[in-house]
Every structure is written in C-alpha cells, then in structure tokens.
Chain A
Amino acid sequence: MLQFFKKPNFNIVGKGKIAFIVSIVIIVAGIVSLFVQGLNYGVDFAGGAKMQVKFTESISAEELRSMFTEKDLGNPEIKSSGENEYMITINANEVENSDDLLKEALTGLNYSILQIDKVGPKMGYEMRYNSLQAIGIALLLILIYITVRFEFKFAIGAVIALLHDVLITVAFFSFFQWEFSLPVLAAFLTIVGYSLNDTIVVYDRIRENIKIHKGKPLKEVINLSVNQSLSRTIITSLTTFVVVLILAIFGGQVLFGFSIAMVVGVIVGTYSSMFVAAPILIAWEHRFKEKEKKDKKK
C-alpha cells in the first residue's frame, strides 16, 4: 500500500493563528489593490468591442496604434495574441462604430478577423448586475443547505472559508490585472463549489468523530479529523490542480482566465478547508462558551 502519510498527526489546528495572519495580509493587500488599480474588467462587464485580428504581414503593436491615432480614431488597447495577431479593444462609448473604426484604421492592410466580442454599455451593466445576483443566490442556497445538513456554526465556517477563497482569488486578479470576464466569473462560482467540497469532507469527519470521541475536547477532535482526511484532501487537490494547470497551459487563450482562476482557487480552497474552516469552528465554540459562562455568572 502506497501512502503519503503513515499515520499523520500534524498540529494543523494549532497553526490557525499563523494562517489567520497570512490570509488577512493577502486579503487586505487585495482590497488595497482593488481600491488603487481595481479589477481589469473585460468587455463582458465593462462593455466595449474586442477584436482579434490576424495580419498576413508582420506589424508591431506600435505601428498598429499609430494607424488609429494618426487618423484620429481614438486610442484602442492593443495587445499581441500570437504571431502577427492582435487583440484590439475599443471602449464602450464607441461600440456601435467599432466595425467602421477598425475598417478605416486598417485600410491598406491584409487581415482577417478571428473573433469579435462586442458588448453594449447597457448589456455590460446588466451582466455585472446579474453576476452579483448569481453569486448572492449561490451563497445563500449553500448556507441553507449546510445549515440543514450540519449545524449553523458549520455553515458560518464554510461560508467564511469560501468568502476567504473568493477574496484571495479576486486579490490575485487585481494584483496581476488579469482580465475579469464571464468565464472567470464561472470559475469563481466553481471555486465556491469546490472549496465547499473540501470543507464538507473535513466537516463530515468532524461530525462523525464528535460522536465517536465524546469526551475529547473539540480542538483535538478537529485536529484528528483534519489529519484523517489529509491524504484524501491532498490527492484530490493534486488531481484537480493538475487538470486545471494543464488547461491553463494547453487550453489556449480563451480558457486562460478561467483556468488560472481555477488554479489559484484550488490551492486556496485546499488551504482554507484545513487552516480556515476548521479553526473557525473552534473560535466560534470558544466565544459561545465564554458567553455562556458570562450568562451563568449573571
């Protein structure tokens, strides 16, 4: 039998404080970054026209840009997306004229349009709104589900853990200014599901062990549970991590945003189910008991 750990007995819960500090630092830095440089919204949410154009002869991004500026056709964002291939993004105010703008700017050049993503400003606004609604509803449903299946304190722990995961992933998107598009949003919601999957497996063990080891302090029971599910957590995370990493490397540009969000999410999700979700239970219990004591004193 091949095993990563013969009899794992790490003091994982004891590392809660260090984990707490690490998480808080990243999240605070993420929030600062959100205020300073914000998220790099793609055309899905900001509105605009993104066109992937392939040229037959070689041309530089600078030359392309000057073709727009010289004819006074605005200053679109131009990024290379392959050999003689560029992403040209025209902002929301000019969406309606984007076809003409492109045609006029590129007259005399030989090119073919590989892809167009065009979203009117109103539609972008609507997508932002709908997305927030979707996230809200998903979180609410999950909270209800876990409350029904476990106890409320588990639900609180799980939701804090997944908020933590989403916040950290958002922080990464803000730091690196990766484009935030619809597929990325789908990835975020999947991270929510995935992170919960991990958290629930640990919680499930805790629920089971609380019944088996009745006298033991909660802290020990939780630590035992985390250790017992350690092999599983690592194997599953590893396989999922591998497939999303492959997707990020080989899946092409369209899937890159989605895959990179998943890569970050899988790592953070695994970390949070062990170092965030479990310790929160103890913290909650701690507070609750202190309150009980105070109540008794009264």
Chain B
Amino acid sequence: MSKKLIWRYIIVAVLLAWAVYSLVPTLQYERLTNAEKIELEEEGKLIDLESKIIKRGLDLQGGMHLVLEVNVPNFVKNIAQHQSRAYYDYMDKVNAKYEVSPEMDYLDIMLETADEDSLRLSRYFPSEERKTDNKSVIDNLLTETEHAVIRAEEIIRNRVDEFGVAEPVIQLVGKKRIIVELAGIDDPQRAKDIIHSTALLEFVLLKDAEYTQDIISRIDAAVKRINPEDISQIDTAVVSNTTSADKEISVSELLGITEGDASTADSSVLVDENLAADKPFSALLRNLGWDIGVPVENYYAVNKILNDPEVKRVLPNDLRILFSGRTKEVKTNDGGKVKFYSLFFVNREAGMTGEAVKEAKAELGSVSSEQMGQAIVNVRMNPEGTKTWARLTGANVDKRLAIVLDNKVQMAPRIQNKIPNGRTVVEGFANLEEAQDIEIVLKAGALPAPIDIIEERTVGASLGADSIARGVRSMFIGLLIVALFIIFYYRGAGTISIATLVLNIIFVLAILASLRATLTLPGIAGLVLTMGMAVDANVLIFERIREEFLKGKTIRSAVDNGYSRAFVTILDANLTTLIVALVLMQYGSGPIRGFAITLFWGIIFNFVSGYFISRTIFTSFTHGKKPLNKLSI
C-alpha cells in the first residue's frame, strides 16, 4: 500500500471522527423526553447541551421573528419644542418629501429642507451643545434616535424573560433596527404587546440588611418544609458544582457588610454541604460584598424557589425580590471566572417613577468637581419630580436606591445626601460605557422611543413540525431515487458515489452543529438540492474514466486519469455556484441565508467527499495487492 494512501485514510478517519463527535449531542438531544429536559435544566446542564446541537430555524420549530425600527418622524415630533406656525409648515414640507421618496433618510430631508428655507432648527430642538447650526442639530437628533434604538433594545431584552423561551435573539442591526426572535411561543399577540408596550422605570428603596437576612431565613425554612429531600438534592448538585467558587460563604457572612475572609477550599466545601441541607435557599447564594450574588447556574433554581406558592406565602406584602438586569463577572481565588446575577430585596412601592426624569447624560466629571475624570451620569428632574426627589433623598440618606427598569435592577447606588434641586450625579461606574448604559436606561421614562414593527414572521409550532416531516421525507425519497438510478447505471462505482453522497449530507449537518448555524426550511431545500448536484462530480469523473477505459487504457491509469482530468471541470463548475451562495449569504435575510449556508457547505464538502473520499475508495481498490481485472462502472 502506498504511503500516499495511508495519509488519505488518516484524513478520512479524522473527518469521520469529527462528524460523529459534532453530531452526537444533536442525536442525544433528539432522544430526550420532555421530563428529562426539565431535569437537565434544573441541573443547569441543558444550556450546555443546547449549545452543541443543530439549531432549528423559527420556520421549523415555530416561533416569531420581528424586525423593529425606530419611527424617526414620530420621534422628531415628540421631542420638538416651541412648535410654531413656521415649524408646522416646515414639517409638512418634509413629510411630503418623505412620502414621495421613502428610501431617503428622514433626517437628511429635514436638513436639506431647513437649509432651503433658511430655517434655524436649533429653535425647535434646543440642546446644551455649543454649536447651533442646522448640521449639528441634525447630528444631535441622529444620536438621539440611535440612543432610542439602544434603549428599546435594552427594554426588550429585559422583558424577553417573561416569555420563557430558549435562546431568544435580540440583535441590533445597523443603527435603526432591532431583530427579535422568539422560538416556540404560542401567543404571538401577547408577545407583541409585551415587546411593544412602554417601559416602566422606577426608583425603589432597598430593604436593609437585617430585614433581608430575616427574609432569607424565612425562605430557607419554607423550602425545607415543602420538600426537604427533593430541593436539597438539586441544591447539592449545583452547590458541589461550584464549591471552588470565590468568596465562599458561611451563613453569618452571607449578608455581612464586611467581605468575609475566604475560608480554605476544604472547609468551604464542608460549609456548603452543611448549608445545603440546613439552609437550602442560602446555599444557592453568594456574598458579593454589598450585593447578594446568584451564580448563573443557580438562576433557574432560585427563580423557581421564589415563585413557589409556599414560599410566596411567607413573604411580606411590601416586598419585591428582583434580579439584576445583567450578570457580573467575578474572579475566583483559583483564577477562574464566575458569572453572577445580583438579587435585590426592595420595597413594593416605587419611590418615584421614570417620568420625573427630564434629562440624563453620561460624561466624565469636570475638572473642578469631586468626580474629576470619573465616569458619571448627570440627571435632571422635572419640577414635579424635583419635589418628590428632594423628599425621597432627604428621608433616606445613606440608604440604597435601586434604578429598576421593567422589574430588573439596573443599578443600586447609595443616597449620599438630600438633593433639593433635582440636579443629581450618579457615580460609581467602572468606565464611560457603563455610565452610558445607565443614561440610556434613565431616558426610558423621559423619551419613550416610538418603535414600529416593520416585519413580522410567525410560524405555529405544528406547522414547523409539519415542515420538518415534509423536508425529511422529500430528502429520503430523493435520495432513494437518485441512489437507485446511479447504482443501476454505474454499478459498483455508483455504490461508492452514493456512499460519498450520504457522507456529504452528514458532513454538512456536522458543520451546522459545529458552527451553531441555523437549519431552516430553505436550508433543508438546499440540502436536497446538494444531493442532486453532488452526484455531478462523480458523474463527471465516471464518464471520464469510461472514456479513458474505452480508449484502451489499463484500469489503473483510466481511474487516475479520470480523476485528475475531471478535477478542473469540477472546480470551475462548482465555484460559480459557490459565488452565488456567498452573495446570498451576504444579502439574504434569515431563511434565505439558511439556504445559502447549506448550499455553500454542500459544495465545499462535495469536493471533500465527492472527490477526495471517492478517489480514496477507488484507489484502494485499483492499487490494492490484488489489482482489479474488471471495472464495475
């Protein structure tokens, strides 16, 4: 056996091993029952598994795809001030132009028209910027609309948890659009209402530490009462998972204001295990200095406990328990990183709502101020808000006040002193970006962003399942007919080509799983089409071999010549389709991109299996110890 052939075998073996390795999680997942899925979810392992399987497009699993866009005309209308006769005339003109050519940018039309009419826009859109020429005003408006989109994205992100869907997609596209994808929702109208409704921004006082500790003890007791065995089992599983986590807690430390010295690794394991049996709820929490941390893996378990009716019964009426909107990454003693949500125990009633905020701006503290060079957010309240704000801050100096957007805590700064005039400085940001995030949140009350749904695609779950069944059926029937025909026509060689064809499909599925690409219905169509075209490489080769053979060449050289001469043709012919696939990937939207992806990889693997592997199999027959004396082609 030649050396070259051994290398070929090794490459083929590696490819096969990779394909099997990539597809195992998908096969595992497909065989899970719903009960098993829930069990895995409680152990925090489902997310891990789900991140390795072939992702199904919304058209296959059912779900909703929305494209949202900020409505610039309405946004401008909302923030314009001192609206006068001249302003209305001007706006009528702008709107008329926009009606005629909707592809133009609205703000560009505004600028153009204002310049034509020599209208000073700064009159209607005053800002604190020094420059007041029309161009600057328009630039400012542009920034505002972009912020409005980011704000809307933030708000939607906050709310998406309410749907309880796996892997929701919320994506900013360009500077005006947001794509939202929710898999498997059964009430699209409700989902749209939730996404579309105005955000609720509140300022809520935190409960003090003793009170909070008391509540946690109450929850511990309640959990033990409900189902001592079950819960402790779940908890031990999770707790033992995270025994090496950083600042391991002891009971007294949990809410101690000082950060506890980390006990040695051994004892912390012990503490945790004891804790799990004794205080099942506390065991899920970690001390993060001022905050109570919930490791990401424990989020589900904590949420479940908090929503348990038994637990709810022991909680006082004036209490809300809220999670932070984002996770925080903390370094552990052994150098690893753990992600935490924070848990806040706050008043049921809001001290103030977001409508009171007149303006918020993130910036670096000026030279003369105490916060020189630090990232801060300057907030101003409206007249009514100023009064409430003064009362609220005056009565609660040194307490912490949570900024809550749609029931998610964004930040919980400490009130340092009474703020009589509404001018507030929020500090304590690591960098300017963090401050800008809070600026965006604070503006949610002052500037509700008019967001339109400009595209919606909803597929019912039953229709999705039906699509899969049809797609798979088409694939099998197609494969069967193609296989019968090719084997009938090319005999032995045909069998090899069908084997490589099946491999081709397996490889494409494997790469989809590895890349976390989405399989859509057009994607399945792409796979089916690939089957038709994949045979082509083999047909080209076989026809060449036949020709060479009929010319009187030996089997061996006919095969070698056939493969090498057909290669150029296969390359040229497939590259053009590859170009098309790339263009479609670039320009296509969701489902079309799914088609382009399978088409693209189908062609790539067509070279691999239709040419390379098929040649390997062929050569191992013709170059074997006993040379063939008959060619089955």
Q: List the interface of chain A (C-beta within 8 A of B).
A: 1-3, 52, 96, 99, 112-123, 125-127, 129-131, 133-134, 137-138, 141-142, 145-146, 149, 182-183, 185-186, 189-190, 192-194, 196-198, 200-201, 204-205, 228-229, 231-232, 235-236, 238-244, 246-247, 250-252, 254-255, 258-259, 262
Q: Take A114-B462, A252-B467 as given contacts and tell me if A194 and B474 are in contact as well, using a CB distance cutoff of 8 Å.
A: no
**Please, how many angstroms separate the alpha-carbon atoms of A2 and B580 in the complex?**
35
| Smallest CB gap from B490: residue in A | A2
B470 close to A250 (CB less than 8 A)? yes
In whole Å, how far is B580's beta carbon from the nearest beta carbon of chain A? 4
Q: Does B592 contact A142, Cβ atoms closer than 8 Å?
A: no
Supply 18 A–B pairs (Cβ within 8 Å), ascending by A: A1-B546, A114-B463, A118-B455, A131-B587, A134-B588, A137-B587, A182-B588, A186-B522, A186-B592, A189-B580, A197-B536, A236-B539, A239-B536, A241-B532, A242-B478, A242-B482, A246-B478, A246-B528
Interface contact B583-A189, CB-CB below 8 Å: yes
Question: In chain B, what residue has the closest Cβ to A204?
Answer: B569
Q: How far in angstroms is the closest Cβ of chain A from B530?
A: 9
Which of A126, A193, A228, A247 is close to B577, meaning CB atoms less than 8 Å apart? A193
Give chain A residues whose Cβ lies under 8 Å from the Cβ of B588: 134, 182, 186
Q: Which of B554-569 contact A (CB under 8 A)?
A: 568-569
B543 within 8 A of A: yes
Do A183 and B488 touch across chains, with their CB atoms under 8 A apart? no
10 further contact pairs, Cβ within 8 A, besides A134-B584, A192-B580: A120-B455, A122-B102, A185-B592, A194-B533, A200-B572, A229-B543, A235-B535, A236-B536, A243-B532, A247-B525
Interface contact B591-A183, CB-CB below 8 Å = yes
Q: B357 to chain A: closest CB distance in Å?
A: 30
Cβ contact within 8 Å between A138 and B579:
yes
Inter-subunit contact B455/A119 (CB<8 Å)? yes
Q: B573 contacts A200, CB within 8 Å?
A: yes
Which of B522, B525, B586, B599 is most buried by chain A, counting CB atoms within 10 A of its CB? B525
Is the Cβ of B103 less than 8 Å from the Cβ of A182?
no
Given contacts A252-B466, A255-B525, contact A204 B535 (CB under 8 A): no
Which chain B residues lie closer than 8 Å to A255 at the CB level? Answer: 470-471, 521-522, 525
Instruction: Flag if B587 contacts A243 (CB, 8 Å).
Output: no
A122 touches B454 (CB 8 A): yes
Assess the B574–A123 pair: CB atoms within 8 A.
no
Least CB distance, B274 to chain A, in whole angstroms: 53
Closest to A238 in B: B485
Q: How far is the CA of A114 from the CA of B572 in the complex (A)?
A: 43
Task: List the A residue with the shortest CB-CB distance to B536.
Answer: A236
Complex CA–CA separation, A145 to B571 (angstroms):
12
Most chain-B Cβ atoms within 10 A of its Cβ — which of A1, A189, A196? Answer: A189
Residue numbers in A under 8 Å from B459 (CB-CB) = 114-115
Q: Nearest-CB distance from A65 to chain B (Å)?
A: 23
Chain B: residues with CB nearer than 8 A to chain A? 59, 67, 102-103, 188-189, 192, 452-460, 462-463, 466-467, 470-471, 473-474, 477-478, 481-482, 485-486, 488-491, 521-522, 525, 528-529, 531-533, 535-536, 539-540, 543, 546-547, 568-569, 572-581, 583-584, 586-589, 591-592, 595-596, 599, 633
Q: Is the CB of B577 within 8 A of A123?
A: no
A201 to B584, CA, bound (A): 23
Would B583 and A137 count as touching, CB distance under 8 A? yes
Chain A nearest CB from B263 CB (Å) reads 57
Q: Write the chain A residue with the least CB distance to B461.
A: A114
Chain B's nearest CB lies how many Å from the CB of A59? 19
B470 to chain A, nearest CB (A): 4
Instruction: Report the bound CA distance from A38 to B13 in whole Å.
Output: 54
Instruction: Note all chain A residues with C-beta closer than 8 A to B528.
Output: 243-244, 246-247, 251
Shortest CB distance B497–A (Å)? 11
**Contact partner of B455 among A123, A137, A190, A194, CB < 8 A?**
A123
Complex Cα distance, B532 from A205, in Å, reads 22
Select which of A182, A235, A238 is within 8 A of B589 by beta carbon.
A182
Task: Judge whether B454 and A120 touch: CB under 8 Å.
Answer: yes
Task: Kindly state the separation between the CA atoms of A137 and B587 in the bound complex, as whole angstroms.
Answer: 10
Bound form: Cα–Cα A116–B452 in Å? 17
Cross-interface CB contact of B587 among A122, A123, A133, A193, cutoff 8 Å = A133
Residues of A within 8 A of B102 (CB): 121-122, 125
Distance from A49 Cβ to chain B, minimum over Cβ atoms (Å): 8
Do the beta carbons of A183 and B474 come within 8 Å of each other? no
A246 engages B481 (CB within 8 Å): yes
Given the complex, which residues of B lie within 8 Å of A116, measured CB to CB? 188, 456-458
A239 touches B525 (CB 8 A): no
Nearest chain A CB to B179's CB is how many angstroms away?
A: 12
Residues of B within 8 A of A2 (CB): 488-491
Please name all residues of chain A whose beta carbon is closer than 8 Å to the beta carbon of B533 when the two chains form the complex. Answer: 194, 197, 236, 240
A149: chain B residues at CB < 8 Å are 572
Instruction: Report whether A239 and B592 are in contact in the complex, using a CB–CB cutoff of 8 Å.
Output: no
Task: Report B-chain residues with C-beta under 8 Å of the C-beta of A201.
Answer: 540, 569, 573
Taking a contact as CB atoms closer than 8 A, the residue among B456, B473, B482, B599 that contacts A118 in the complex is B456
Residues of A within 8 A of B595 (CB): 183, 186
- On whether the beta carbons of B576 and A193 are closer than 8 Å, the reply is yes
Which one, B67, B466, B485, B540, contacts A239 given CB within 8 A? B485
- In the bound complex, residues from chain B placing their C-beta under 8 Å from that of A205 are 569
Residues of B within 8 A of A112 (CB): 460
Contact in complex: B456, A236 (CB < 8 Å): no
With contacts A116-B456, A186-B588 known, is A259 near B489, CB below 8 A? Answer: no
**A167 to B233, alpha carbons, bound, how many Å?**
67
Contact A115 B463, beta carbon cutoff 8 Å: yes
Check B103–A125 contact: CB distance below 8 A: yes
Nearest A residue to B66 via CB reads A118
With the chains together, A182 CA to B591 CA distance in Å?
9
Q: CA separation between A105 and B486, bound complex, in Å?
A: 54
Query: Are B579 and A142 in contact (CB-based, < 8 A)?
Result: yes
Give B471 Cβ to nearest chain A Cβ, in Å. 7
How far does the alpha carbon of A3 sit from the alpha carbon of B547 in the complex, in Å? 12
Q: Is the CB of B569 within 8 A of A200?
A: yes
Residues of B within 8 A of A117 (CB): 456-457
Chain A residue numbers with a CB within 8 Å of B488 are 2
Query: In chain A, what residue has the closest Cβ to B64?
Result: A116
B574: A residues at CB distance < 8 A = 197
On chain B, the residues within 8 Å of A119 by CB distance are 454-455
Q: How far is the CB of B46 from chain A (nearest CB, A)?
A: 28
B578: A residues at CB distance < 8 A: 193
Q: Are B455 and A240 in contact (CB under 8 A)?
A: no
- Given A3, A133, A254, A259, which contacts B467 in the complex, CB threshold below 8 Å? A254
Contacts of B474 in A (CB 8 A): 243, 246-247, 250-251
Q: Chain A residues near B575 (CB, 8 Å)?
A: 145
- Flag if A232 contacts B543 (CB, 8 Å): yes
B470 touches A252 (CB 8 A): yes
Q: What is the distance, in angstroms, from A290's C-beta to the closest C-beta of chain B?
A: 30
Chain B residue nearest to A228 (CB atoms) is: B547
A254 contact set on B, CB distance < 8 A: 59, 467, 521
Nearest CB in chain B to that of A182: its residue: B592
Instruction: Kindly state the separation between the CA atoms of A104 and B320 in the bound complex, as whole angstroms.
Output: 39
Which residues of A sit under 8 angstroms from B454, Cβ to Cβ? 119-120, 122-123
How far is the CB of A6 from the nearest CB of chain B, in Å? 10
Bound-state CA distance A235–B577 (Å) is 19
Residues of A within 8 A of B569 (CB): 200-201, 204-205
Chain A residues with CB under 8 A of B525: 183, 247, 251, 255, 258-259
In angstroms, Cα B569 to Cα A183, docked, is 29
B587 touches A190 (CB 8 A): no
Given contacts A239-B485, A240-B529, A252-B467, contact A134 B458 (CB under 8 A): no
Choose one: B482, B547, B587; the contact of A130 (CB below 8 Å): B587
The residue of chain A having its C-beta at the shortest distance from the C-beta of B470 within the complex is A252
Q: A238–B232 Cα gap in the complex (Å)? A: 64
Known contacts A138-B580, A246-B477; A239 and B529 CB within 8 A of each other: no
Q: Would you call A1 and B633 a contact (CB within 8 A)?
A: yes
**Minimum CB–CB distance for B581 against chain A, Å:** 7
Whose C-beta in chain A lies nearest to the C-beta of B486?
A239
Asked, given contacts A117-B457, A194-B533, A232-B539, whether A258 binds B103 with beta carbons under 8 Å apart, the answer is: no
